[in-house]
Structure 1
Amino acid sequence: MIDSIWLFALAALATLFAGVSKGGFGSGAAFASSALLALVMPPAAALGIMLPLLMLIDVTALPSFWRRWSWPDARLLILGGLPGVVLGAVLFTVANDDVLRLLIGAVALTFVLWRLAPYTPSRHIEPGWLGGVAGLVSGFTSFVSHAGGPSAAVYLLARGLDKTTYQSTTVLVFWALNVAKAVPYGFLGVFTAETLLAGLWLAPFAVGGTFLGVWAHRIIPERLFFGVTYVMLTLTGAKLIWDALV
């Protein structure tokens, strides 16, 4: 599956990128790693390689944010996200590679538009059904493309959480959703011996990227990171959609 030095270098870069983002720098852009890998391998294989690595990143990042999350918000997003995971699994059973490419590409471009659009959230909204809906969307998009961040972010930003509480809550939520996704991924054959072996080789990049993200969270302006991310996601998303349609 990763049978050349160039493909391994691309996978290592994608994994490092995911670790940096989920480690606290990049605010939800970790899913770009799956989009990048989907350019050079079947989308299901890209998702299968990345999920164990994302789970490893979650475990590595959790101690830095332990008990600093907003549990009421995390609970709503997780409870809403579980049905979203089920919906994603149902779609996965009937979708071919081109449908998955189209979904991943569309989510990538939507993410860029969402981040670039002017948005002034209503602060301190009360948790309730909105959290459940945001969780549902997050669970679904997370299952089909590891891209559950945007809908969860819209809800959490509207809650007016401070920076650390926001990051801690997202780490907890997506740790739980990633664990939930692992079971249907296994039944659907997303995990194979090849994807697990590839993940083993890429694990050091996941851990290293997480610690790098914690450091970058304090040192480097995010504008530079997002500038590169938006360009990469736009090109990658457009290419995936083109491949799916053509």
Structure 2
Amino acid sequence: MIDNPLFYVLAVLAVMIAGISKGGFGGGLGTLAVPLMALVIAPQQAAAIMLPILCVMDLMAVWAYRRTWDRRNMWIMLPGALAGIAAGGLTFAYLDADMVRVLVGTLAVGFFAFEVARRWIFDPDRPPARPAALRGGFWSAVAGFTSFIAHAGGPPVNIYLLPQRMPKTLYQGTTVIFYFIINYVKLIPYALLGQLSFGNLTTSAVLLPIAPLAMLSGIWLHKRVSDRMFYVICYGLLLVTGLKLLYDGIAGLAAG
């Protein structure tokens, strides 16, 4: 098991944010979990520790949103996501820790920039986009790949779904079912790659009791509280964490 106290401080925060996000409060900010943990450990190990926790959260989320999801978008998104997972599994061994830090940091900063542009630059009065097989397949494949290596499928999924301006609960239910399927599919290649080691699973088990509390908090907040302040805090943290990972990754690659 990991014995660094700072890791557990960051890991508890990461699991709380991921659970609250999966519960329906804060959009796709579960993307923040691996970058936070990767400040202390290798991103690959952080992803391996988070996967069993995410799978448990998914069971709770599916029950909460089982009646509210978009079937047309699901049929469009799943084939691309499965292809992306396969690509992630085939290339995982060739990505060292610094390369993954740069990739995850880029995703974090890119997601921040996309959200800023979406909220304050794009025309808010243009009509909602419609589901589209080509666009949805592409972004879902990217989501499958980034989800495999760092559970960072949120940015590409949001790039596809958010312009459709679904009702909040329909959007949340669609993403819940999507991540439920791909996270359980990822267990197979993660196990084959040796990522689900005894040490990683033991660390996951230590953090797991936080998951139900975080999920229930997200479900409660989704129904009752505006998520504006949560977005502001988490996007700020996401930007700082992404920049730190980019710095560390680029420095490590330059030194190597």
> TM-score scaled by structure 2?
0.91
How big is the shift at 1:122?
A: 4.6
How big is the shift at 1:126?
A: 4.1
Contact 2:102 2:249 in 1 (8 A): yes
Please tell me whether residue 119 in structure 1 is matched to residue 122 in structure 2: yes
Identity %: 36
| Match of residue 44 from structure 1 | 44
> TM-score scaled by structure 1?
0.94
Map 1:47-66; keep pairs closer than 5 Å: 47-66=47-66
Please tell me whether residue 213 in structure 1 is matched to residue 218 in structure 2: yes
| Match of residue 23 from structure 2 | 23
Residue 138 (structure 1) aligned to one of 135, 143, 147: 143
Distance of 1:47 and 1:4 partners within structure 2: 17
Q: Look up the equivalent residue of 1:43 and give its one-letter code.
A: P
CA deviation digits over 1:194-231, x for unaligned, max 9? 11001111111111100000111123321211111111
Q: Look up the equivalent residue of 2:42 and give its one-letter code.
A: P
Contact 1:103 1:145 in 2 (8 A): no
Could you list the runs of 5+ residues in structure 2 that have no partner in the other structure? 252-256
SS of the equivalent of 1:21 reads helix
Contact 1:69 1:169 in 2 (8 A): yes
SS of the equivalent of 1:119 reads coil
Please tell me whether residue 88 in structure 1 is matched to residue 88 in structure 2: yes
Contact 1:141 1:147 in 2 (8 A): yes
Could you list the runs of 5+ residues in structure 1 that have no partner in the other structure? none
How big is the shift at 1:169?
A: 0.4
Contact 2:23 2:217 in 1 (8 A): yes
Contact 2:107 2:155 in 1 (8 A): no
Contact 1:103 1:144 in 2 (8 A): no
Map 1:104-183; keep pairs closer than 5 Å: 104-117=104-117, 118-120=121-123, 122-183=127-188
Q: Look up the equivalent residue of 2:109 and give its one-letter code.
A: L
Residue 245 (structure 2) aligned to one of 227, 230, 240: 240
Distance of 1:22 and 1:119 partners within structure 2: 26
How big is the shift at 1:124?
A: 4.4
Distance of 1:126 and 1:220 partners within structure 2: 29
Change in Cα spacing, 1:94 to 1:5, as seen in structure 2 (3 Å) is closer
How big is the shift at 1:130?
A: 1.8
Distance of 2:48 and 2:230 partners within structure 1: 26
RMSD: 1.5
